[in-house]
Amino acid sequence: MKNTIGLYGLGVMGANLAKNMANNRERVAVFNYTPDLTEKFVGEFSSQNVEAHYELEAFIQSLETPRKVFLMVTAGPVVDSVIRSIIPFLDKGDIIMDGGNSDFHDSNRRFHELNEQGIHFVSVGVSGGEEGALNGPALMPSGDACAYSLVAPILEKIAAKVDGKPCCTYLGPEGSGHYVKMVHNGIEYADMQLITEAYQFLRERVGLTVEEIADVFAQWNETDLKSYLIEITADILRKKDDETGKPMVDVILDKAGQKGTGKWTSKEALDIGAPSSILTEAVFARYLSAMKEERVHAENILSGPKAVDDKMDKDYWINVVKEALFMGKICAYTQGFNQYRTASEHYGWSLDLSEIALIFRGGCIIRADFLNKISNAFKQNKELTNLLLAPYFIEKTNRYQSSLRKVVMKGMESGLSLPCFSTSLTYYDGYRSSQSGANMIQAQRDYFGAHTYERNDKEGIFHTNW
């Protein structure tokens, strides 16, 4: 009997996806460029639904037609070379899926190049890390709707489920699935940075111990903040280092790494004119964190405010920080979804923002209860220009904006850097201001470069002889 799907690439994510497919009774052919990972895979996972291959042609020929090949290889040129290597064994109508964190520009190109050869290309954003890949990731597929319908039964089966609904739905043409995954990661960066700032504020400003903060996060996870990232933060704070007995967070060097998807989100936001400042600030915060040696040096040279010694009421401030964090998250997700809207118009993709929020509810790193609210907001009003204007979020921000203000002001007065909290507030205040101050910029541009300006009292384009 032929196999229903081929999984190419048996790194951690690929191996777990193959197991997930086999556990869901798909007959999976597996292949890796080097035999070692294939041997390792079959050594640790035995299933009658798995067929290991060591020859590329035999791997592809073992698949029922139209063949469905799922690539889980390193994003970038490797994807192109793998595609080139399998094309000779494919027929028109076969389908290649790419589940890596590929740049959507590459996915757009691959989609069109393969289309010309009669091969379907389905971009599949995959989120959820190792555990998600094994037990149910969030999947963000795009490409031809007809090609998607052929792979949908498999993808929807292996995806996470929330309220019985798979966290996988057809999103749009070309590489839009990888676009959706990219911005998911931009939101992920912002969410992680906001949580980090809340932790830092509670520790350095309010004076809570690591254990107390773990309890606070665990408690928050029972509220409207409930989310995977809040949950793992509580777990992380409870973990002690085996060697020293100190909290793990205290022995981990404060230099953040990154693989690039957050940066891509920001570059893309700049290209299409989406004000994703909180997402971008989270990328910059990682860059600044990486300058450890410089920061250590500067600490002894550059002065800040005098130490503030006011005693802070713990219970009061825990609640204020909670509200500030929720407010920051609302602003960050608003920016991410606004970027989806702008990109959808820019590329003509007709992305359904309500559906995107729905598939983020399970499996992925940013899964959170309040994605239901985001989904409802876009479902109730398809023309909604900005999430902040949806009734649920108006009510929340009306209640929480003053807490964000309090935390930012306390942080600033004591010299605590709060990049995403402060940018959230700046975005919020900027968005709700009918007067932006840009009249001055227009005047300056006209003054030094005769760039012209519009007036607020009559139509037309004007220039002043300054």
Q: Tell whether residue 101 is a contact of ligand 6PG (CB under 6 A).
A: yes
CB contact at 8 A, 421 and 324: yes
Q: Tell whether residue 108 is a contact of ligand 6PG (CB under 6 A).
A: no
Six-digit token string for 464 = 């002043």
Q: Alpha-carbon distance 232 to 443, whole Å?
A: 50
Q: How many residues of this chain bind ligand 6PG (CB under 6 A)?
A: 13
For residue 448, give Cα distances in angstroms to 437, 438, 454: 18, 15, 16
**In the complex, least distance from residue 184 CB atom to ligand 6PG, rounded to whole angstroms:** 6
Chain Cα centroid distance, residue 224: 20
**In the complex, least distance from residue 264 CB atom to ligand 6PG, rounded to whole angstroms:** 10
Q: Is 362 annotated as a binding residue?
A: no
**In the complex, least distance from residue 255 CB atom to ligand 6PG, rounded to whole angstroms:** 13
181 annotated active-site:
yes
Q: Is 74 annotated as a binding residue?
A: yes
Phi-psi region of 329 (alpha: psi -120 to 50; beta: other; left: phi over 0): alpha
Residues 6+ positions from 267 with CB-CB distance below 8 Å? none
267 annotated active-site:
no
CB contact at 8 A, 212 and 429: no
- Pick the piece of the chain touching ligand 6PG (CB under 6 A) from 205-213, 257-265, 287-295, 409-417: 257-265
Q: Alpha-carbon distance 466 to 444, whole Å?
A: 10
Strand partners, 63: 3
CB contact at 8 A, 177 and 355: no
Residue nearest to ligand 6PG (CB): 127
Q: Is 34 annotated as a binding residue?
A: yes
Residues 6+ positions from 253 with CB-CB distance below 8 Å? 292
- Pick the piece of the chain touching ligand 6PG (CB under 6 A) from 69-77, 126-134, 245-253, 296-304: 126-134
Closest CB to ligand 6PG among residues 195, 390: 195
**In the complex, least distance from residue 175 CB atom to ligand 6PG, rounded to whole angstroms:** 16
Q: Alpha-carbon distance 86 to 50, whole Å?
A: 20
Residues 6+ positions from 84 with CB-CB distance below 8 Å? none
Amino acid at 265: T
Q: Tell whether residue 174 is a contact of ligand 6PG (CB under 6 A).
A: no
Q: Is 3 annotated as a binding residue?
A: no
For residue 390, give Cα distances in angstroms to 153, 199, 384: 34, 29, 7
Among 259, 346, 451, 463, the residue binding ligand 6PG under the rule CB under 6 A is: 259
- Pick the piece of the chain touching ligand 6PG (CB under 6 A) from 125-133, 149-157, 226-234, 275-283: 125-133
Residues 6+ positions from 294 with CB-CB distance below 8 Å? none
Catalytic residue among 19, 26, 68, 181: 181
Residue span 265-304 as binding mask against ligand 6PG, x where in contact by CB under 6 A, dash where not: ----------------------------------------
Binding residues for ligand 6PG, per CB under 6 A?
Answer: 101, 127-129, 185, 188, 257-259, 261-262, 364-365
Binding-site annotation, residues for substrate? 101, 127-129, 184-185, 189, 259, 286, 445, 451
Binding-site annotation, residues? 9-14, 32-34, 73-75, 101, 127-129, 184-185, 189, 259, 286, 445, 451
Residues serving a catalytic function are 181, 188
